[in-house]
Amino acid sequence: MIIIIFMSVPNIIVVAGSSGAGKTTWVCQQIRDVADAEKIIYYSPGTGTVPVDQTRIASEFPDLQVFSDIQQVQFLNQIPSSDAVYIEWGFYLELGSVAQLLDNLTYRTVAVLPSDLKDSEYHAWANEIVRGAPTQASNAETLWRAVSSGQVIDENSLEEFWYEITHGAYGIVTRAKGIFDVNDGRSLYCDFVAGVPQTDFLELDLPRYLEGRPQRFSGLEVVGKNLDEAALRQTLSDCCLSDAAILQYQQQVKEILLEGEPV
């Protein structure tokens, strides 16, 4: 007797595209259309110790399983038991490496690209082209990353620093994104794409961190030309609160919350 076992085949989608075109935004849109995110998994290789997109997406979809760089094996093991798999392929990774990662699995390729980009390696690679933001990114750019986990950033300083980053004080920046813990315990997501209208900082749906230095990810990623990395690093450091200031702010926020007042 022959027993045939039908296993459901997960829908694997690899999303690539220009820096800032909206890869993560597109993935979020797809997940929002699904009632239950529990059996959806997300992986974005190459982000190392600065998982900005992973942190943002995990805060929006708490049921989603998000895998970090060091969890590649667990991610691959999880694929067969998932309904849908989203792999975000950073612009800094070779498109040819996708096949190496997914071996013999069947997958669909989606490229999120600015509409004025008519001919690129993505066009030849993707099954589907999605019209993205009109980003001004080019190939000759540098990627700079910094981890600020454990630090609390003075929010007013962050606004000033962000203004300087996005207006060329540290080089020609085409893309910047970051997640920061601020004075009142909130975690803020900052997002900039050159050529696209600026948005306000987004408060992530995470609990306020009010017990000392935050034990969760925060950090910054900047893409551009002629980046003054030393100045970026120094200014980020200058925005960080001391232990005494963190304690003082956290006590103030706790008192306000105890009184039932809005912070």
Q: Does 156 bind another protein (CB under 8 A)?
A: yes
| List of residues 6+ apart from 60 with CB closer than 8 A | 28, 204, 205
Stretch that binds another protein, among 2-10, 74-82, 92-100, 167-175 (CB under 8 A): 167-175
Helical (H) or strand (E) element with 258 = helix 243-258
CB of 15 to another protein, least distance (A): 36
Which residue, 46, 24, 25, is CA-closest to 93? 46
Instruction: Please give the structure tokens belonging to residue 70.
Output: 């060091």
Q: Does 263 bind another protein (CB under 8 A)?
A: no
What distance in Å separates the CA atoms of residue 148 and residue 155, rounded to the nearest whole number? 14
Among 34, 93, 169, 206, binds another protein (CB under 8 A): 169
Q: Which is nearer to another protein, 159 or 255 (CB)?
A: 159
Stretch that binds another protein, among 12-20, 21-29, 195-203, 231-239 (CB under 8 A): 231-239
Question: Do residues 144 and 234 make contact, with C-beta atoms less than 8 angstroms apart?
Answer: no
Q: Does 78 bind another protein (CB under 8 A)?
A: no
Among 38, 69, 164, 184, binds another protein (CB under 8 A): 164
One DSSP character per residue, 14-72 reads EEEESTTS-HHHHHHHHHHTSS--TTEEEE-TT-TT--HHHHHHHHH-TTSEEE-GGGH
Q: Which is nearer to another protein, 76 or 169 (CB)?
A: 169
Q: Does 252 bind another protein (CB under 8 A)?
A: no
Instruction: Please give the structure tokens belonging to residue 19.
Output: 């820096």
Q: Does 154 bind another protein (CB under 8 A)?
A: yes
Residues lying near another protein in the complex (CB under 8 A) are found at 154, 156-157, 159-161, 164, 167-169, 228, 231, 235, 238-239, 241, 245
